[in-house]
Amino acid sequence: MANAEPHEFLELFLQDDFWELIAVETSRYMQTINAFADIQDRQRKFLKEVSVAEMKHCLAFICAWVLLIKDKFVIIAHHVIRRS
């Protein structure tokens, strides 16, 4: 495992059944929003079923974003704690 890629390590914990469940439940939520929400037709085109690949990309984006802002958050938290 020492030479493994990051996604290979993550796959030890987040296996295919997890991703399938997330994709199915996200798609079900979008169907509910489509059916009951008061949204305009131009907004409705963004509400569609999602695939496992799209959910993986979404998680990768969130992780990258957290890694980018974590230092800023630590600095802000440190500043807030010092002021208290």
The verdict on residue 77 lying in a domain is: yes
How confident is the prediction along the chain (84 residues), in pLDDT tens digits per residue? 667 777 777 788 888 999 999 999 998 988 887 777 666 665 666 667 889 999 988 888 888 888 777 766 666 655 566 655
Range of the domain at 27: 6-83
30 within domain boundaries: yes
Q: Are 48 and 30 in contact (CB under 8 A)?
A: yes
Tell me, yes or no, whether 1 lies in a domain.
no
pTM metric for this prediction: 0.62
Question: Cα–Cα–Cα angle for 4, 5, 10, nearest 5°?
Answer: 95
Domains identified in the chain, total number: 1
